[in-house]
Amino acid sequence: MQVYGVSLSSRLLLGTSQYPSPAIMTAAVQASGAEIVTVSLRRESGAERAGQSFWSIIRALGLRVLPNTAGCHSVKEAVTTAQMAREVFETNWIKLEVIGHHDSLQPDVFGLVEAARILAADGFDVFPYTTEDLIVGEKLLDAGCRVLMPWGAPIGSGRGLNNLHGLRAMRAHFPDTPLVIDAGIGLPSHAAQAMELGFDAVLLNTAVAKAGDPALMAAAFAGAITAGRQAYAADPMPPRDMAQPSTPVLGLAFR
């Protein structure tokens, strides 16, 4: 998979929050085979550098870091957080979130496009957390994004892919754009389904972090994503309305 000129072997992007301990998080990341981990910048800990031990653990993983603007509800807040994250993590990559609805955590797509335009002009490689709306996707690409990250379901809900029709339409409408399912994935079967639809990768966090055995769940997701991608590449048979015998009837004995 190619993202902003970077070649990746793994199609699983993994978050680093909500784990019971740093050791469990490290084990899960390693079991997942992920090459990208997402991290959020907590501005309130900056003065005491309280988060530095955590950032050291993340850097020790030796993976590419994708900072995010989680919890931002305005363009100004998201842009400022992205600029701070670039200084802390020394990367132009940013997962852009501009939240518009407190309960569903649905993106504010108007603010998202505006913030994406500002950050792309400032040299950022923007990974926008968006909906499956085709017009919003076009506007994000026009703003300078080269990847789209539509939600499968609300963040942390574990509901899987809520709008299969919309996601299929998005894949068909943007055949040459990397598409990453971001949010709502709860089971490895959800991730496999996303890959079978032709999506390029899956980003998840809660489903692994909140599992009884995060490392085992991370390995399960890695296997499911690989299987789903292989199934898509194999050009699977279409569903049928009627049965069709797998054994031909020619040559059978009749009374």
Query: What are the respective helix, strand and coil percentages of the chain, to the nearest 5?
Result: 40, 15, 45
Exposed/middle/buried for residue 2 (C-beta within 10 Å: 0-12, 13-18, 19+): exposed
Residue 100: CB partners within 8 Å, gap ≥ 6?
Answer: 73, 106, 107, 108, 109, 111
Return phi, psi of residue 26, to 5°.
-60, -45
Amino acid 107 reads P
Distance CA(98)–CA(113), nearest Å, equals 9
95 is catalytic: yes
Rounded Cα gap, residues 67 and 234, in angstroms:
34
| Residues 130, 148: Cα–Cα separation, whole Å | 7
Residue positions forming the annotated binding site for 1-deoxy-D-xylulose 5-phosphate: 156, 183-184, 205-206
Angle at the Cα of 82 (from 76 to 86), degrees rounded to 5? 145
Binding residues: 156, 183-184, 205-206
Centroid of chain to Cα 31: 18
Three-point CA angle 25, 197, 201, nearest 5°? 30
Closest CA to 131 of 98, 91, 85: 98
What is the rounded CA–CA span in Å between residue 96 and residue 116? 7
3-class DSSP assignment, residue 93: strand
Q: Which of 76, 95, 139, 210 is catalytic?
A: 95
| Catalytic residue positions, numbered | 95
